[in-house]
C-alpha cells in the first residue's frame, strides 16, 4: 500500500529548497523523510479494469511511518471485512469467511494483491527503495509551473529485488508523478502514473493513481483517494494481528 501512499503523501515543501543543489539521494530522502513519522487515515477505492469487466472495491487505510499499513475492505458487502496488515515487510491477510489470519509467504510477495495490478510487494515494502537502491539524478523538466526531478534507481547487487531498475518522476513539492518498473533485461514492465492531484487536508495529494502493465494499457488498476487525514491519533493496537482479526471499525 505504501507504493501509492508515497505518491499520496504530499508534502508542502517550501520552494526555498529548490535552487539548492540536491542529490538524487537527498530528493528521495526528503520525500520519504516528510512521509516518515507521519500517520494517515484514508478512504479509498480501488478499480480493477479489464476489457470485458470491471470491479470496484471500497477500503479504508491506516499508515504509521514507513513500516506499518492496514487495509480494510468495506465494499462490496460480500468482501467487507477482509483485511491486509503489513508490518516491517511481513504481511498477513484476514478473511471473515473462514475467520482466519494467514501470513503471506515471501515467495508470494510478487503475486498480485487481490487480483489487481499491484503486487503484494507494491502494497507493503516500497520504502525499501531508500536502502536497497543506488540513486542517480538523470534529468529534470518543468511541468505546470513545477520543477520535476527524474531519478534512476538501480538496486544493489545483493538486494532481494525483482526489478532491474526503477525510474521516478518527483515534483518539487514531493508529489510522485510517475514510477516506472524495469526488469533485469532493461524492458519496461509496468508504470504507476498520477492522474489527478488534489488538495486534501491542506496538502497536494495524488488523488488518482493508475498502475498499468507496458503494452496492455486497456488493463489497469486505479486507486482513488476520496479523503485523507494526516497526523491523526491512532490506537496503539491498530497494527496488530488481533486487531486484524477483530475489526472494530
Question: Among residues 97, 144, 233, 236, which is the contact residue for other proteins, using CB under 8 A?
Answer: 97
CB of 140 to other proteins, least distance (A): 39
Q: Which is nearer to other proteins, 16 or 98 (CB)?
A: 98
Which of 28-36, 112-120, 142-150, 170-178 is the region at the interface with other proteins (rule: CB under 8 A)?
112-120
Is position 115 an interface residue for other proteins (rule: CB under 8 A)?
A: yes
Is position 25 an interface residue for other proteins (rule: CB under 8 A)?
A: no
Q: Which is nearer to other proteins, 103 or 198 (CB)?
A: 103
Which of 96-104, 123-131, 152-160, 241-249 is the region at the interface with other proteins (rule: CB under 8 A)?
96-104
Which of 34-42, 91-99, 179-187, 206-214 is the region at the interface with other proteins (rule: CB under 8 A)?
91-99
Q: What track of x and - describes contact with other proteins for positions 29 through 68 (by CB under 8 A)?
A: -------------------x-x-xx-x-------------
Is position 143 an interface residue for other proteins (rule: CB under 8 A)?
A: no
SS (H, E, C) the chain: CHHHHHHHCCCCCCHHHECECCCHHHHHHHHHHHHCCCEEEEEEEEEEEECCEEEEEEEEEEEECCCEEEEEEEECHHHCCCEEEEECCEEEEEECCCCEEEECCHHHCCCECCCCCCEHHHHHCCCHHHHHEEEEEEEEEEECCEEEEEEEEEECCCCCCCCCEEEEEEECCCCEEEEEEECCCCCEEEEEEEEEEEEECCEEEEEEEEEEECCCCCCEEEEEEEEEEECCCCCCCCCCHHHHHCCCC
Is position 119 an interface residue for other proteins (rule: CB under 8 A)?
A: no
How many residues at the interface with other proteins, by CB under 8 A? Answer: 25
Q: Answer for the pair 192, 3: CB distance below 8 angstroms, yes or no.
A: yes
Applying CB under 8 A, the residues found at the interface with other proteins are 48, 50, 52-53, 55, 73, 76, 78-79, 82, 93, 95, 97-98, 100, 102-105, 107-108, 111-112, 114-115
Amino acid at each position: 500500500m505504501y507504493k501509492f501512499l508515497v505518491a499520496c503523501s504530499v508534502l508542502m515543501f517550501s520552494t526555498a529548497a529548490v535552487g539548492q543543489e540536491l542529490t538524487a539521494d537527498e530528493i528521495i530522502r526528503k520525500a520519504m523523510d516528510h512521509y516518515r513519522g507521519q500517520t494517515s487515515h484514508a478512504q479509498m477505492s480501488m478499480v480493477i479494469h479489464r476489457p470485458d469487466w470491471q470491479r470496484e472495491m471500497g477500503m479504508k487505510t491506516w499508515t504509521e511511518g514507513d513500516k506499518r499499513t492496514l487495509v480494510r475492505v468495506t465494499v462490496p458487502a460480500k468482501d467487507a471485512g477482509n483485511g491486509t496488515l503489513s508490518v516491517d515487510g511481513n504481511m498477513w491477510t484476514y478473511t471473515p469467511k473462514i475467520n482466519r489470519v494467514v501470513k503471506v509467504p515471501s515467495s508470494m510477495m510478487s503475486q498480485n494483491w487481490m487480483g489487481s495490478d499491484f503486487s503484494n510487494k507494491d502494497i507493503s515494502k516500497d520504502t525499501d527503495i531508500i536502502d536497497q537502491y543506488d540513486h542517480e539524478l538523470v534529468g529534470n523538466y518543468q511541468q505546470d509551473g513545477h520543477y520535476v526531478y527524474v531519478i534512476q534507481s538501480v538496486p544493489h547487487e545483493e538486494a532481494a529485488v525483482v526489478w532491474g531498475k526503477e525510474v521516478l518522476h518527483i515534483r518539487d513539492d514531493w508529489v510522485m508523478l510517475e514510477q516506472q518498473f524495469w526488469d533485469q533485461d532493461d524492458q519496461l514492465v509496468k508504470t504507476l502514473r498520477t492522474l489527478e492531484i488534489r488538495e486534501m487536508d491542506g496538502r497536494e495529494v495524488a488523488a488518482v493513481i493508475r498502475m498499468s502493465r507496458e503494452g496492455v494499457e486497456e488493463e489497469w488498476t486505479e486507486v482513488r483517494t476520496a479523503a485523507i487525514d494526516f497526523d491523526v491519533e491512532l490506537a496503539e493496537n491498530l497494527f496488530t494481528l488481533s486487531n486484524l482479526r477483530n475489526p472494530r471499525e
